[in-house]
Chains A and B, each alone.
Chain A
Amino acid sequence: MNKTWNNKAWFMVLPVFLLVAISAIIPLMTVVNYSVQDTFGNNEFFWNGTDWFVDTLTSERFHAALVRNLSFSLIILAIEIPLGIGISLTIPKKGWGVSVCLVLMALPLLIPWNVVGTIWQVFGRVDIGLLGHTLAALGLDYNYVQDPIDAWATVVAMDVWHWTSLVALLCYAGLSAIPDAYYQAAKIDGASRWAVFRYIQLPKMKRVLTIAVLLRFMDSFMIYTEPFVVTGGGPGNSTTFLSIDLVKMAIGQFDLGPAAAMSIIYFLIILLLSWIFYTVMTNSEGAN
């Protein structure tokens, strides 16, 4: 669409700019200021140069949290994306079933994140939870409080439970934008189910899938509340993701300097990823 060049449009954007600037720029500047100083409270700060950055960049703790976070993001993407596509293909296209499906599937998305945590914390417990109890009854040695692998399995299962619907709904939106003439043509050509998926449905889902992949990647990269409620980052540090570590440092131990340096590195990674996301998306938009 051809847009008119009009710099007065800035006045329409101004309220949004001010609102977000207060919430984003002032805190960000503060974080940068803290990252080069040390404090012992009382708003007294001492110049500390780039030491916090060196500390963070070379610290085992940060590397471990970063690796954990990246693995977590990749695992949940590998599960949620194919599963979401599969489910979106089976959602009915018409009738009363559509609304029922969509509303029920979207329900987990609207549960406060710490309640999601609470639900799974309870659900997975061996003594009072349905999942934990069933697994124990099947003879499995399952205990997410003590076993790191079980804790990971629980956190991943929780995220899949929580967010697969988002992928499914996005793909469904992409699928419902396909004109019926396409299916008709495919039928006349005698195309197989797989061919219909590969050459008609998948290309049409490309854009929404991009949104889905990157939205899920970003959100899982900054996950905090749900694993914090379920495992508290444990057992040991096995489920301590970047955000959990950061909050522990900033609010728990009040180590403003290291927390700020870590925030900036974390934020730069997010910024790079968002930029790739945005570029890929706008360019695929232009190509359509």
Chain B
Amino acid sequence: MSAVANTARAERPVTIGTVRSSNSGRLSWLVPTIYIVLLMLPIYWLVNMSFKTNTEITGVFSLWPEAPTLRNYEVIFSDPSWYMGYVNSIIYVVLNTVISITAALPAAYAFSRYRFLGDKHMFFWLLTNRMAPPAVFALPFFQLYSSLGLIDTHIAVAIAHCLFNVPLAVWILEGFISGVPREIDETAYIDGYSFPKFFVKIFMPLIASGIGVAAFFCFMFSWVELLIARTLTTTDAKPITAIMTRTVSAAGMDWGVLAAAGALTIIPGALVIYFVRNYIAKGFALGRV
């Protein structure tokens, strides 16, 4: 019976959809296409440059590499001070994602299911940290982590990024958890599940998409952040983004290598976005649609 209802519901939008698209005309694909082309142009230009030699970049103006070369990428992959930047970035981003999600899951559950002393204010206080400008915190962070002896370690950056990623993760997960009916919790208790067992075995699979989206956002914001990561690292844990800025300021702009390094930073983002593509719209609405 419910299967029949589901198919009926699944079929309805198809008919409506065709009716609507014929209404709005055949050119409806045009706007998104133009927009995406405009979005891709600057990225294309960067990738284009990364396959050129420096003489071609500064000498001739060409829309595609006339003498394609992999030299720029070779420079990056043969020099540890370059490629370790990517490794460092990945290490602290993954650490941060794991810490943020682990801490945020129980908290989001608590905010979604219970009322407790100061809950609303606590939630608001968490959010203010998402809104706080990193520039305010950069210097005290440096001194705090210096006194802890954690400067230039991956864990320092991972914990510092928790400042804005944990609130975000709590916020997104709370949205997704509130979408799961309470009856499921209660049924599990009646069936004799202990809380941790219920949480890991039953509840987490239910909000798997939410966890995926939250992890994606933690990854994203930790990956794109530069100011704090740069302040807290000197050599051993220096992220690729900071290495790039240093090379830019060095004498004799190596445009080709800069473009190649930039192009490579886009790949991890493109990979993770592919995995959450079906939930991304809901995720950007912080699970609250």
**Beta-carbon nearest neighbor of A221 in chain B:** B133
Task: Report A245-280 residues with CB < 8 Å from chain B CB.
Answer: 246-247, 250-251, 256, 259, 263, 266-267, 270-271, 273-275, 277-278
| CA A128 to CA B258, docked complex, whole Å | 14
Chain A interface, >50% SS class: helix
- 15 intermolecular pairs with C-beta atoms under 8 Å apart: A16-B107, A23-B159, A24-B129, A26-B144, A27-B141, A94-B14, A102-B277, A102-B281, A109-B269, A111-B43, A112-B265, A123-B42, A180-B16, A247-B227, A278-B127
B12, B36, B226: the one within 8 Å of A104 (CB)? B36
| A97 and B19 alpha carbons, distance in the complex (Å) | 18
Cβ 8 A contact of A270, one of B19, B49, B117, B132: B132
Decide: A111 near B128, CB < 8 A? Known: A26-B140, A87-B35, A225-B227: no
Q: A283 interface residue, CB < 8 Å from B?
A: no
Closest 8 CB pairs of A and B: A110-B269, A27-B140, A222-B133, A9-B114, A12-B110, A173-B285, A12-B106, A9-B110
- Whether B16 pairs with A92 at a CB distance below 8 angstroms is no
CB of B262 within 8 A of CB of A115, answer: yes
Chain-B contact segment, one of A48-56, A74-82, A141-149, A163-171: A163-171
Please report the C-alpha to C-alpha distance between residue A273 and residue B170 in the assembled complex, in whole angstroms: 20
Stretch from B66-74, B161-169, B202-210 forming part of the interface with A: B161-169
What does the 1/0 interface line of B2-30 toward A look like (CB < 8 Å)?
A: 00000000001110110110011000110
The answer on a CB contact under 8 Å between B127 and A274 is yes
| A8 CA / B138 CA spacing, docked (Å) | 35
Q: Is B83 an interface residue (CB 8 A)?
A: no
A173 interface neighbour in B29, B265, B281, Cβ under 8 Å: B281
Asked if B250 is an interface residue, CB under 8 A from chain A, the answer is: no
Q: What count of chain B residues pass the 8 Å CB interface test?
A: 105
**Nearest Cβ on chain A to B14's Cβ, whole angstroms:** 7
Between B16, B122, B140, B224, the greatest number of chain A beta carbons within 10 A of the residue's beta carbon is seen for B140
Chain A residues within 8 Å of B273, by CB: 103, 106-107, 110
CB contact under 8 A between A173 and B45, given known A13-B122, A20-B126, A105-B39? no
0 or 1 for each of A197-227: is its CB under 8 Å from B? (1 = yes) = 0000000000110010000001001101100
A119 to B41, CA, bound (A): 10
Is the C-beta of B113 less than 8 angstroms from some C-beta in chain A?
yes
Identify which of B122, B167, B225, B269 gathers the most chain A CB atoms within 10 Å of its CB: B269
Report the Cα distance A28→B265, complex, angstroms: 32
Which residue of the partner chain B has the closest CB to A118? B262
Q: Is the CB of A105 within 8 A of B35?
A: yes
Q: How far is the CB of B163 from chain A (nearest CB, A)?
A: 4
Is the CB of A62 closer than 8 A to any CB of chain B? no
Whether A104 contacts B128 by the Cβ 8 Å rule is: no
When distances are taken between beta carbons in the complex, the residues of chain B under 8 Å from A127 are 58
Minimum distance in angstroms from B84 CB to a CB of chain A: 16
Residues on A lying within 8 angstroms of B by beta carbon are 1, 3-10, 12-13, 15-17, 19-20, 22-24, 26-28, 30-31, 86-87, 90-94, 97, 99, 101-115, 118-120, 122-123, 127-131, 133, 161, 165-166, 169-170, 172-174, 176-177, 180, 183-184, 187, 193, 207-208, 211, 218, 221-222, 224-225, 229, 242-244, 246-247, 250-251, 256, 259, 263, 266-267, 270-271, 273-275, 277-278, 285
Give the CA-CA distance A16 to B107 in the complex, in Å.
7
The residue that B255 contacts in the complex, of A7, A122, A218, with Cβ under 8 A, is: A122
Determine if B107 and A211 form an interchain contact, defined as CB atoms under 8 angstroms apart: no
Considering residues A31, A218, A225, A271, which has the most beta carbons from chain B within 10 angstroms of its beta carbon? A225
Contact assessment for A193 and B23 in the assembled complex, using a CB-CB cutoff below 8 Å:
yes
Q: Is the CB of B135 within 8 A of A169?
A: no
Q: Judging by beta carbons under 8 Å apart, are B31 and A256 in contact?
A: no
- A173 proximity list for chain B (CB < 8 A): 281-282, 284-285, 289
Q: Check B24–A193 contact: CB distance below 8 A.
A: yes
Question: Closest residue of chain B to A125, judged by CB?
Answer: B255
Interface flag for B182 (CB, 8 Å):
yes
Q: Which of A24, A26, A90 contacts B132 (CB 8 A)?
A: A24
A92 adjacent to B284 (CB under 8 Å): no
Instruction: Find chain A residues with CB under 8 A from B274 CB.
Output: 103
Residues B107 and A112 in contact, CB atoms below 8 Å apart: no
Q: Check if B149 is an interface residue, CB within 8 A of chain A.
A: no
Contact A263 B285 (CB under 8 A): no
Which residues on the A side are within 8 Å of B103 (C-beta)?
Answer: 15-16, 19
Give Cα distance in the complex from A263 to B159, angstroms: 22
Question: Are A6 and B115 in contact, with the CB atoms below 8 A?
Answer: yes
Chain A residues within 8 Å of B45, by CB: 119, 122-123, 129-130
Question: CA–CA, A250 to B103, complex, Å?
Answer: 32
| Cβ-based interface call for B184 (8 A) | no
* Cα-based distance from A166 to B220 in the complex (angstroms): 13
A103 to B135, Cβ gap below 8 A? no
Which residues does chain A contribute within 8 Å of B138, judged by CB atoms? Answer: 247, 250-251
What A residues does B29 contact at CB under 8 A?
A: 90, 92, 97
Distance between B151 CB and nearest chain A CB, rounded to angstroms: 14
